[in-house]
Structure formats: C-alpha cells, structure tokens
Structure 1
Amino acid sequence: MRAPIQPLLDRLRDTAVRVGRLWIPGKQVEQTLARYGKLLFCINHSDEHPYSLVGSATAVRLNGECLLFCCHHQIKDYPPDDVVISTDKTGTILVSSSAIVWRESTPGDVDEEYHDLRAMKFEPTNYVGANMGPEFFDLQKNDCWNGDKESTFFLFGYPTSLRNVDYEIPHINVQQIVTSASYVEPSNARGLHRLRMSRLSGFSSDGLSGAPVFHLSEDAKGFFAGFAGIVTRGSESSEIIHFLDARQLTPFFQK
C-alpha cells in the first residue's frame, strides 16, 4: 500500500541511489528498503491459535552484527524464544534470536523512551540454509539522520488494521505500508521526535511500533537512503507518530 512517497520515488526512477554500500536504481529503493521492515510473530503454544502477529520490527546490521529492534510493549507477554521472524515470503519458516539486549537505566535516565527498546541478536552462521545477513540493513553511521528538520522521511510497517490471521485454512493476510512523513518537533524525551505521516488511506498507526524510519538525502556523490530511527508509538486518530533516532540505537551493538 502506497502513500505520497511514491511521487518522490518516481522522480528517482532513473537515478542511482545508494543504500548502505550499494548503488541501486531509484526504482528499486522502495522494494529494497521494505525488506528491512519485518513482521513480528509471537508463538502461543496453542493448537487453535499457534501464533500472534504483534506488529513491526527493524532489522539493522552494523560491522557484521545483526540486530532486530522492536519495543518492549510489543513483546512483554512472551519469553524471548517465542519472539520470531520469518525467513521466507510464505511465513512458514520462523526463527528466533540467540539473545535479547536492552539499555540499563540509571538514576538520571529512568524515564527515557529508549528503555522501551529491545534488540534481538541474530548470528547468521546459526541459521543453516538461510541467507540472513542481507536481510538486515547495512548501517553506515555517516548516513544516519543528523537532525535536519527539512529531511524527507519514509517508513515501512504492518498496521494492525491490515493484518488478518485465519487459523483454519491456515492463512496470513498482511499488508506492509510505506508512507512519507515530515518533521514536526522534538519531544521532551532524549532522542525522541514527532513526525507527521502523509498517509492517504485509512490505516491506523496501531501496529507501527518497531517500524523502521529512513530518510532520503544527497551528498557529493548523489542521493542515498539512510537510517533515521524506529517508530515507538502513534495514535489511532492522529497523523503524528513518535520515533527514536538512530543515535539511540547504536549503543545496543556489541553489548
């Protein structure tokens, strides 16, 4: 499902755009970035309702380390081994992480939003037959959003209103959305910002927690798509979503 980002991507169709270390045709930017927004499954250990879909997650790779980010409020009712993602398009192969990490609070930051983040470690060599590394966005720190309020943002996610699980068939019917967004203002929390989505259709922002936010920028070599952060919350009736910028995610690596 597409919102107003499409005219922007259409203008770049015949232009090379850098994503991580790779240059790709502009017309492939959307499908390339979409793969880093994951659908998050949780195992219920029930024959009638074997799993639940709990929203979106963000797959990021830095210096070979692969982390899947989501929010604690999405998975708080499940042990780490029961939080999984699919390694194939049909959703038949589900894998869990080898460990889960979070940022420890201190007396001075106990109320900060980043304490809701969780990062699940995936070691590619542990998954025989699954080419896991390319499924994680190749994070280049210099490409991360630098706070420019005029940036063009876009995000990918799985709204609750566009997800349906039929356990009898069984069948999963989900739609991943991509929509552009503009900067509104910083919040009072460290590294937390407000964006206004430019959605045209009536999907709810419920289910977008954990979704990746990217920005499109230009340097001396040309256009590039960089990592901006991760959605932490939205509103049923508002166009405003909150996201934690990439600087709040890098401390999770090599923990």
Structure 2
Amino acid sequence: MIDELTGLSVRLNGLVVPGRSIERTLAAYSFNLVVHNNHDTYKVSLVGSATAVHFNGRYILLCSNHQLRGVDPQQVAMLKDDGGILVTSGGYAAYQARPDTDANDIAAFDFTEPVAAHPDLKRRFFELKDLPPDTLVTNVMAMLLTGYPSAGQTYDLEVKNHLGLARLNVACVPDGQPKDDALIRVRASVPLSVDPDGMSGGSAFVIQLEGNDLRAYFAGIILQGSRELFHVLKAGYVVGFLRSVYP
C-alpha cells in the first residue's frame, strides 16, 4: 500500500514529498509520551505515544486523556535528540471525560516556551493547517498510523543507562464508521505481530487522491487499537478541541 507510492509524489502542506519518503516524513511527528520522574536512575516513565503539532502559533503535544491516569501532567516531557529531558512549562489542557463519546478523550501540552528556548525542536511539530476534505472511500489511498507499542520499548536504565525507543508504522484502510461519530475505524492492511498497547496518542495521517494529485493530511490521533482494528479521533474533533483551549 505505502510501497505502491514509490515513484510517485505526495503533496503535504504545499510541499511535494517523494512517495518513497512519505512514510518516514509523516511518522516523524509521533513520539513516546514521556513523564519525568524524581528518581536518580529511572529518570522517565513511558506512558504511550503522543503527536506533535504546530497550531495557531503554539507548539502542542497531543495525547489521549486515558493515558494520563495516575500521571502528574506537570511532569510530561519531551526527549531531545541528544537524550536530554525537556519538561513542559506552558500548561496542560483537557476535556472532562464523557461516557457517551470518545470525543473528549484528548489532552494537550503546550511546549511553546520550551521550543522558543530550543528552536531546533520546531521541525518535530507538524504544521496543522488543513483538514482532509470529504472524499469517496475509493479516493483514500492509505492511512498511516504511527506509535510506540509498549512491548517494543527497551528500558534498561539501571544496568546500561539505555532507553531504546521503537516506533511502529501501520498502513491501514478505512473500515466503516463506528457509532461514535467522533471516531474513524481503520483496518491494518496486514495484522500486527505485536500487541499495539501503547500506541494511543500516536498520529494518524491520510493520503488521498484529489484530481490527479496525491495529498496527505493529518487525520487525527489514535485512541484504541487491536492487532487488526484501530479507532482514531477525527482531525476535525482534534482541531475543535485545540480551538477551544488555544483560541
């Protein structure tokens, strides 16, 4: 599916990305959700995945609300390329959970101030401008989900002082509309060989055909998953949340 784009090009935020590079390009905006610990050896905990976006001038790290149970939001952090820990200082926002919809299962951490102090981080945030336009399912060439399954992470800080982060990209196709209109259901093109637990909060992008062009858009964040099916919070609901807390 993604392999079929090799030799083609995909438009993304006004840029033309070679098809052979589009998977790597889109996957780069998904990260481990890291929590800073006050511990000399185990300096961080990993609590699933997160998606980095630049929206209305703010640098925001998105995740699901359910990942934060038992977590102090003030200790949510990003890891720099050199392995340094960067703790958010710009605040945290979330909806009140509701039993009738997963539309409120989203949280955001404002990294605008830390990014101003560390401008090299800007490239790690996706420029969230355009929502995917409505289209026929037949025009959806692929959906790419990216996250960090817990089973794939290596956390050996006591002996080797090593933190190994394993990202998983999952090519999917639409699989119908669930009862909750806030969600998209998608099916993995090939069933996973690992448990996807830990991918909540990761990114979802869609590549669709518009006329003679292939275009990629932010499609939402992962909320739930199995080895075959995933539920994604739609991009429109993500943007609605962001507009409500960062007008």
Distance in 2, matches of 1:120 and 1:29, equals 26
Residue 91 of structure 1, aligned match among 83, 86, 91: 83
Residue by residue, what CA displacement relative to the aligned partner does 1:182-217 show, whole Å, maximum 9, x if unpaired?
Answer: 111222223112211124551211011001111111
Residue 242 of structure 1, CA deviation? 0.9
TM-score by length of 1: 0.85
Name the SS for the 2:117 alignment partner: coil
Residue 179 of structure 1, CA deviation? 1.5
Number of residue-to-residue matches in the alignment: 241
1:155 aligns with 2:145: yes
Aligned to 1:225: 216
Change (3 A) 1:100 1:35: same
Aligned to 2:64: 71
**Are the aligned partners of 1:124 and 1:131 in contact in 2 as well (CA < 8 Å)?**
no
1:194 aligns with 2:160: no
Aligned to 1:35: 28
Gaps of 5+ in 2: none
**Are the aligned partners of 1:157 and 1:212 in contact in 2 as well (CA < 8 Å)?**
yes
In the TM superposition, structure 1's runs of 4+ consecutive aligned residues that sit over 6 Å from their partners are none
Aligned to 1:251: 240
Aligned to 1:146: 134
Distance in 2, matches of 1:124 and 1:26, equals 34
Distance in 1, matches of 2:204 and 2:180, equals 18
1:183 aligns with 2:179: no
1:61 aligns with 2:51: no
TM-score by length of 2: 0.87
Residue 47 of structure 1, CA deviation? 2.3
Residue 110 of structure 1, CA deviation? 5.5
Residue 124 of structure 1, CA deviation? 5.4
CA root-mean-square deviation: 2.3
Residue 39 of structure 2, aligned match among 42, 46, 55: 46
Name the SS for the 1:186 alignment partner: coil
Distance in 2, matches of 1:250 and 1:241, equals 20
Aligned to 1:20: 13
Change (3 A) 1:221 1:198: closer
Residue 208 of structure 1, aligned match among 179, 199, 217: 199
Distance in 2, matches of 1:233 and 1:170, equals 31
Amino acid at match of 1:119: A
Gaps of 5+ in 1: none
Amino acid at match of 2:3: P
Change (3 A) 1:166 1:127: farther
**Are the aligned partners of 1:213 and 1:228 in contact in 2 as well (CA < 8 Å)?**
yes
**Are the aligned partners of 1:165 and 1:172 in contact in 2 as well (CA < 8 Å)?**
yes
Residue 134 of structure 1, CA deviation? 2.4
1:162-181 equivalent positions in 2, closer than 5 A: 162-168=152-158, 169-181=160-172
Percent identity over the alignment? 30
